Amino acid sequence: MTLPPVLHDRLRLPVVASPLFIVSGPDLVVAQCTSGVVGSFPSLNARPRPVLREWLADITARLAKYDANNPEAPAAPYAVNLIVHKTNSRLEEDLATIVEFEVPIVITSLGARADVNDAVHSYGGIVLHDVIDNTFARKAVAKGADGLIAVAAGAGGHAGTQSPFALLQEIRAWFDGPLLLSGAIAHGRAILAAQAAGADLAYMGSVFIASTEADADLRYKQMIVDSGAGDIVYSSRFTGVHGNYLRGSIRAAGLDPDALGDSRPAVPNFGITEGAEPGPKPQAKPWRDIWGAGQGIGAVDAVLTAAMIIERLRAEYAQARAVLL
Ligand SMILES: Cc1cc2nc3c(=O)[nH]c(=O)nc-3n(C[C@H](O)[C@H](O)[C@H](O)COP(=O)(O)O)c2cc1C
């Protein structure tokens, strides 16, 4: 299918950098966009609420300045993630700010709402909605989402359980709009593989936690570098919804990663009502102390600038194309 210009024209690699609770802020977003991939952050990272306006003013000003200095290779567009869940008391206010700034791409998670999509469409923005199965995909499109993010097994954060092949195949059977694939994509070869399997773009998160611009504890970045797929634990213990977390961070919180037990009541969100964990370290909180990551991090072997990470991905992608195509 033909991608809308906002997902095509200014991208120098077919990648959307996914929103990362706590971790992504203006510095990372600007570095991603100026390196030619869509950068994004969750609106909830801008705290307290008025900070969202400051972040959007900052990002748009820095990108405009970059464009003025680099008219031949302007920055890729940016995206803001909205958690569309009834527990998100900021939703209406954050949406109004998004409309005011005419944010080009809005990523909605944990709930699809027609009125949210209508608000983004009112100024010409597009909405990408993330889904873990074909049923949610159909619902999202019925409510007016422009594109879908298929969150497959192995993704960081609230991952799905389906194989990327199965998920893309079922969605592509009826949907010819923009389709992104998420889950353990951390190498340029995997970006090409996502396209071969039916996606238009790759959606990548964990690989950017180990960037100098990421707002993450240095021990978190180093644990991403030192860990591989075998160090990722899939559990509902921390938020009530299954997600992928770093084994080492669970251990550091005084919990046994192999005996996590029952989940807490479902609070399927990124930090809207996060609570303390019972256990030897009562202050350990999901995302802040129990660190999320996807299974692809074996490809990460150093903490680098986002520009260097994207350069590596671009070289790997080009090489994979040269070998296969
Ligand atoms: C630490 C962390 C925080 C995340 N926070 C969010 C979030 O706030 N909103 C959201 O929609 N997805 C969030 N995700 C999921 C990512 O957007 C994306 O689906 C995932 O990172 C892709 O898989 P990968 O990490 O294997 O590349 C988060 C993932 C991680 C690892």
pLDDT at residue 261, rounded to an integer:
78
Determine whether the shortest distance from the Cβ of 202 to ligand 1 is under 6 A: no
Ligand 1 atom at minimum distance from 294 CA: 26
Residue ranges of the alpha helices (H) in 104-217? 114-121, 134-142, 164-172, 188-196
> How many domains is the chain built from?
1
Determine whether the shortest distance from the Cβ of 178 to ligand 1 is under 6 A: no
Write out the residue range of the structural domain in which residue 77 sits. Answer: 5-214+299-324
250 in a domain, yes or no? no
What is the CB-side half-sphere exposure of residue 104 using CA atoms within 13 A?
Answer: 19
pLDDT at residue 262, rounded to an integer:
64
Q: Please state the pTM of the whole predicted model.
A: 0.95
- Phi/psi zone of residue 183: left (φ > 0), alpha (ψ -120 to 50 degrees), beta? left
- Ligand 1 mean position to 137 CA, how many Å? 18
pLDDT digits (tens, 9 = 90+) for 156-210: 999 999 999 999 999 999 999 999 999 999 999 999 999 999 999 999 999 999 9
For residue 150, count CB atoms less than 10 angstroms from its CB and return exposed for 0-12, middle for 13-18, buried for 19 or more: buried
**Domain CATH code at residue 159:** 3.20.20.70
pLDDT at residue 279, rounded to an integer:
46
68 in a domain, yes or no? yes
279 in a domain, yes or no? no
pLDDT at residue 58, rounded to an integer:
98
* 151 secondary structure, DSSP code: E
> 165: which residues sit within 8 A by CB, 6+ positions away?
197
* 112 secondary structure, DSSP code: -
Residue ranges of the alpha helices (H) in the chain? 26-34, 51-69, 91-101, 114-121, 134-142, 164-172, 188-196, 218-226, 247-252, 306-324
103 in a domain, yes or no? yes
304 in a domain, yes or no? yes
266 in a domain, yes or no? no
232 in a domain, yes or no? no
- Ligand 1 mean position to 186 CA, how many Å? 13
Low-confidence ranges of the chain (pLDDT < 50): 273-281
Determine whether the shortest distance from the Cβ of 26 to ligand 1 is under 6 A: no
Are the beta carbons of 183 and 160 closer than 8 angstroms? yes
